[in-house]
A and B are shown apart, each in its own frame.
With several copies, the nearest count.
Chain A
Amino acid sequence: MSRKRRLELIIERMALRRACNILEESGMGGYTVLGTVAGRGRNSTWRREDDPSSSREMAVIIAIGDAAKVERALADLHQLVDAHIGVLSVCDVDVLRPDRF
């Protein structure tokens, strides 16, 4: 198996498209977006059902890629997470088909 980086970005739904644009521009091979149902942060407690505008909802983006590409995405993601509500974390993972990332 081969070592890659797994990027996980918890980002407010309204800024999701911006985050995806950044990942695409940084050359990451792909990503998958998961929905969320509730959450709590320093400034807010929210539940999906209680917000007709969906403006407090978050989404989780998972993107697996090689270290260099992830590094390239980080600068812009950092700026995004400064303007928008979001939590960004990265960890090491082992993958089977290293060439596809």
Chain B
Amino acid sequence: MAFDLAWNTIVSPVVLFFVLGLVAALARSDMSIPEDFAKGIAIYLMMAIGLKGGFEMSRSGLDAEVAAVMIAGIALSLVIPLIAFALLRFTTDLGRIDAAAAAAHYGSISIVTFIASTQALEWAEVESSGHLVAVAALMEAPAIVVALLLAGPRDSARVGVAGQSRGELVREVALNASVVVLIGALLVGWATGERGQAQVERFFLTPLQGVLCLFLLDMGLAAGRGLRRGREALRPATLAFGLYMPLVGAALGGGLASLLGLGVGDAALLMTLAASASYIAVPAAMRLALPEARPSIYLTLSLGVTFPFNLTLGIPAYVVVAGWIAG
């Protein structure tokens, strides 16, 4: 059963198109999907998953569990960077600032990994709750704050960079596209419920998996190129971190899920969130807040190593394990 489930997840158009992109990039194909088109699709995906969660919440209502999972999510995004930072400092030769920046990525989340996970649950006919989307949105930012504390006192933080404007980091972190769209779409879905769903499901829900194929082809290309170009920047110990850190995160997420007594689907999603690493919001925030940290380290790790790992092997594993601990 577990094997079947894992196999069906991996041999699905969604994952195979990701692998296609990955392989094409590693084979040095020049093909690409225009950036502006891919960014438009990304907005669509966030609207879709937000609406989906909102419609589901309008059916199921709120209870104490919702608050508990949200707190669990925030706790994970505060603790994981600490663990990641410690591991990086002890096992690799990364300096304090590079380690702090990389740690922030792992405390935050990848919404595409989350969406892929919800699809895998659908294929396995496992239910999950809409409010996990809210948890995902809440987990975007806290790790950034932790990382800034870990990075410690720096020149640029003390005197400031020329041209800096008040509140720009807060705006970047709290009002970036994924937070605004996820939370916004969740509220729209929640407020309009069944009537809203009838109006928009044929654009946002029915074709979702197909759109994800197109988007993951692009992400495969990006991950493959990131890996090919960034490879030399990573020592083996750093590269290994990109592979075991998601497992550490997933274990923490799974532990909390079992403590809270979450269902299989919710447990798998919380594990996925904990295991996933940001490659959009956090890198951007790091350029503002920790410009000394090297993108070649943190982007290669999160986009080139952890993202492909989660998408191909991680997700099926988390779903299977969630079945054991919560089933």
Interface residue ranges, A against B (CB under 8 Å): 12, 14-15, 17-22, 25, 43-45, 47-56, 76-77, 79-80, 83-85
Cross-chain contact B161 with A84 (CB below 8 angstroms): yes
Residue of B33, B162, B229 touching A45 (CB-CB under 8 A) = B229
- A12's closest neighbor in chain B, by CB? B287
Stretch at the interface among B52-60, B219-227, B244-252: B219-227
A80 to B219: give the CA distance in the assembly, Å: 32
- Which of chain B's residues have a CB closer than 8 A to the CB of A44? 295-296
What's the Cα separation between A18 and B286 when bound, in Å? Answer: 15
Residue of A20, A43, A54 touching B296 (CB-CB under 8 A): A43
A14 surroundings in chain B (CB, below 8 A): 284, 287-288
B86 at the interface (CB under 8 A from A): no
What is the CA–CA distance of A87 and B303 in the complex, to the nearest angstrom?
27
Residue B299, interface by CB 8 Å? yes
Which of chain B's residues has its CB closest to A45's CB?
Answer: B229
A contact patch SS: helix
Residues of A within 8 A of B294 (CB): 43
The residue that A50 contacts in the complex, of B163, B225, B283, B286, with Cβ under 8 A, is B225
Nearest residue in B to A20 (C-beta to C-beta)?
B163
Closest to A83 in B: B161
Fill in one digit per residue for B23-44: 1 if any A CB lies within 8 Å of its CB, else 0: 0000000001111001000100
Taking the complex as formed, is B318 at the interface, i.e. its CB lies under 8 A from any CB of chain A?
Answer: no
Name 10 interchain pairs, CB-CB below 8 A, sorted by A.
A14-B288, A21-B165, A47-B225, A49-B33, A49-B221, A52-B222, A53-B281, A77-B162, A80-B163, A84-B161
Whole-angstrom distance between the Cβ of A40 and the nearest chain B Cβ: 11
Least CB distance from B276 to A in Å reads 14
Q: Does residue B91 face the partner (Cβ distance < 8 Å to A)?
A: no
Q: Which residue of A lies closest to B280 (CB)?
A: A53
| Band of interface residues on B | 20 to 34
Where the two chains meet, the residues of B that have a C-beta atom closer than 8 Å to any C-beta of A are 32-35, 38, 42, 156, 161-165, 168, 219, 221-222, 225-226, 229, 279-281, 283-284, 286-288, 291-292, 294-296, 299, 303
Minimum CB–CB distance for A74 against chain B, Å: 11
Q: A15-B291, A80-B161, A83-B291 are in contact. Are A49 and B32 (CB under 8 A)?
A: yes
State A85–B286 Cα separation when bound (angstroms): 13
Whether B33 pairs with A15 at a CB distance below 8 angstroms is no
Asked if residues A56 and B299 are in contact (CB atoms below 8 Å), the reply is: yes
Bound together, the chains give a CA A77 to CA B222 distance in angstroms of 30
Q: Identify the closest chain A residue to B289 (Cβ).
A: A14
**B287 with A15: CB separation less than 8 A:** yes
Q: Which residues of B contact A50 (CB under 8 A)?
A: 32, 221-222, 225-226, 229
B163 touches A55 (CB 8 A): no
Q: Name the CB-closest residue of B to A37.
A: B35
CA distance A80 to B291 in the complex (A): 11
Asked whether B222 lies within 8 Å of A55 as measured between CB atoms, the reply is no
Shortest B112–chain A CB gap in Å is 9
With A and B bound together, what is the CA distance between A49 and B37 in angstroms?
10
- Residues of chain A contacted by B42 (CB below 8 angstroms): 52
In the bound complex, residues from chain A placing their C-beta under 8 Å from that of B283 are 53, 55
CA distance in complex: A21, B156 (Å): 17
Q: Give the 9 A-B CB pairs with smallest separation, nearest first.
A: A18-B163, A14-B287, A76-B162, A55-B283, A53-B283, A49-B32, A21-B163, A22-B163, A79-B162
A79 near B161 with CB under 8 A, answer yes
Chain B residue at smallest Cβ distance from A57: B35
B291 smallest CB distance to A (angstroms): 5
In the complex, the chain A residue whose C-beta lies closest to that of B230 is A44
